[in-house]
Amino acid sequence: MEKKERCVDMTQGSAFRHVISFTIPLLIGNLFQQFYNLVDSLVVGNFVGANALAAVGTCGSLGYLIFALSSGLSVGLGVMAAQAFGARNHKEIRKIIANGIYILSGAGLIVSVLFYALAPNLLRLLRAPDTILPDAVTYLRLICLGTVAVALYNGIAAILRAMGDSKTSLYFLIIASMVNVVLDLLFVVKFGMGVLGVGLATLISQLISFVISLIYALTKVPCFRLNKGELRPEGRTILRALTLGIPVAAQSSIISVSTMVLQGVVNGFGETVMAAYTVVDRVEQIVQQPYNSVGTALTSFSGQNVGAQKLDRVKQGFQAAAWMALGFSLVLLPVVYLFGDQIVGVFVKDPQVIAIGARGMRINCLFYFALGMIYIPRSILNGAGDSSFAMINGLTEVACRVIYSNVFTRIPAIGFWGIWITTGFTWSTTAAVCLHRYFRGKWRAMFDKG
């Protein structure tokens, strides 16, 4: 294969070195990707107002659901490609890429049309106040227009990661993020387009990241240069991709539904709490990136080693990642706890929003290690092909957010602080379920059959 230096065989050498060297570019890339939402919030909060910030924020859970439904299938494709790469079966990788085009394009198109049409109704289900509804509908519909591009970009990135290349997608994200920053400032600050400008900036940035990733894949990675005969859909490959990908997509979708339920609870407390929750959510999207990056690295690492039939290396990867998650937590906790007011103040100037948001962050930071221990065992299980657990994991988060939010926020002495207590307790319960599944060992039995 051309550009062999970009492909990394993680079935040999130090497990810790592979996981951490794979994680670092992913972490940098994921942080840049968060610029889409962060810059939107910064620009809206500082140049438009708290109501506009609440409008963008209330679309967060729906936006996550849209991309989970359309792009979650890329995880299944990535697992298949990683296992094929570990088994040195490049012909199978080409089949996965070809059939992935149909899967991701079809899913993206269906989701895009459906959510575009239902945007007002979905936002009303979330109890979005009438004062922010028009802006929220505009922003959500613009997100929908980029769904197919985002799904295909995620598919390309998943295949590259499966072959051990976590650096290339970083460059794409840096470019797209910089474009997003420039366009946000241009559309909102200079042209005064408000939420419409923020949505357009995000949409254009997403399209650019897809286009440049496609050009790179076609010109630099031979597996992506398919001939006409290879582009024919193959039932077996599509079925396996759906078998692995649908549970993961459903898991992400179910989790997003649970965040929508929580968003509905938040909306019931008015615009000030909504704005504070939006800021905390944006900050925690950054906080989650170290854990998310380690998890993504583990999916590729475990997938390659499952394909190569090296069980002990998968266990080594888990241990290395667990220590990394602990390290991240020990660094993040004091930063968030000590500087919460200043962090929230970057996004919004309203003193009441700052006070509520900072205290909410201080509650959640106590549970960061539990958050990390969701990503690590879940990613190992995904890479090993234990797709059935994904649904269990998703349902656990739904149950926790529904039950905890309705219990804690109804206690008069707690009130809206129960929103953040719910998040911490949800992380802790879900982590316990994930760790139980990992140590129970069902995935090892599946491994032995493979």
Over residues 383-410, the mean pLDDT reads: 85
Question: Does residue 1 register a pLDDT over 50?
Answer: no
Q: Quickly state the pLDDT bin for 361 (edges 50, 70, 90).
A: very high
Q: Quickly state the pLDDT bin for 18 (edges 50, 70, 90).
A: confident
The Cα 408–Cα 241 span in angstroms is 40
Q: Quote the pLDDT of residue 35.
A: 64
Q: Quote the pLDDT of residue 13.
A: 85
**177-223 pLDDT, tens digit each:** 888 889 988 998 888 888 899 889 989 998 998 999 999 999 988 88
Question: Does residue 325 register a pLDDT over 60?
Answer: yes
Residues 6+ apart with CB under 8 A from 241: 73, 76, 77, 80, 96, 99, 100, 103
- Domain residue limits, the chain: 14-445
Q: Quote the pLDDT of residue 429.
A: 96
Residues 6+ apart with CB under 8 A from 313: 11, 15, 301, 305
Over residues 429-444, the mean pLDDT reads: 87
Question: Does residue 316 register a pLDDT over 50?
Answer: yes
Q: Quickly state the pLDDT bin for 269 (edges 50, 70, 90).
A: confident
Nearest to 96 by CA among 87, 4, 145, 391: 87
Position with higher pLDDT, 105 vs 299: 105
Q: Quote the pLDDT of residue 2.
A: 41
Question: Does residue 268 register a pLDDT over 50?
Answer: yes
Query: What do you get for the CA distance between the two ends of the chain, in Å?
Result: 26
**119-146 pLDDT, tens digit each:** 999 999 877 888 889 999 999 999 899 9
Structure tokens at 285: 């999207």
Nearest to 170 by CA among 55, 346, 289: 289
Q: Quote the pLDDT of residue 109.
A: 94
The Cα 202–Cα 334 span in angstroms is 32
Q: Quote the pLDDT of residue 5.
A: 43
The Cα 264–Cα 313 span in angstroms is 43
The pTM score is 0.76
Q: In the block, which residue shows the tokens 């979330």?
A: 126
Q: Residue 239 burial (CB < 10 Å; 0-12/13-18/19+)?
A: exposed
The Cα 303–Cα 383 span in angstroms is 4
Over residues 48-75, the mean pLDDT reads: 79
Structure tokens at 180: 């997003």
Question: ∠51-53-59 over CA atoms, to 5°?
Answer: 105
Contact assessment for residue 48 and residue 188, using Cβ atoms and an 8 Å cutoff: yes
Position with higher pLDDT, 43 vs 321: 321
Q: Quote the pLDDT of residue 346.
A: 83
Over residues 272-277, the mean pLDDT reads: 88
The rounded percent of the chain whose pLDDT value lies above 70 is: 95
Identify which of 191-195, 313-317, 322-326 has the greatest average pLDDT. Answer: 322-326
Structure tokens at 154: 């995620």
Q: Quickly state the pLDDT bin for 90 (edges 50, 70, 90).
A: confident
Over residues 362-373, the mean pLDDT reads: 93
Q: What is the rounded average pLDDT for all residues in the chain?
A: 86
Q: Quickly state the pLDDT bin for 48 (edges 50, 70, 90).
A: confident
Over residues 149-175, the mean pLDDT reads: 88
**410-433 pLDDT, tens digit each:** 998 898 999 999 999 999 999 999
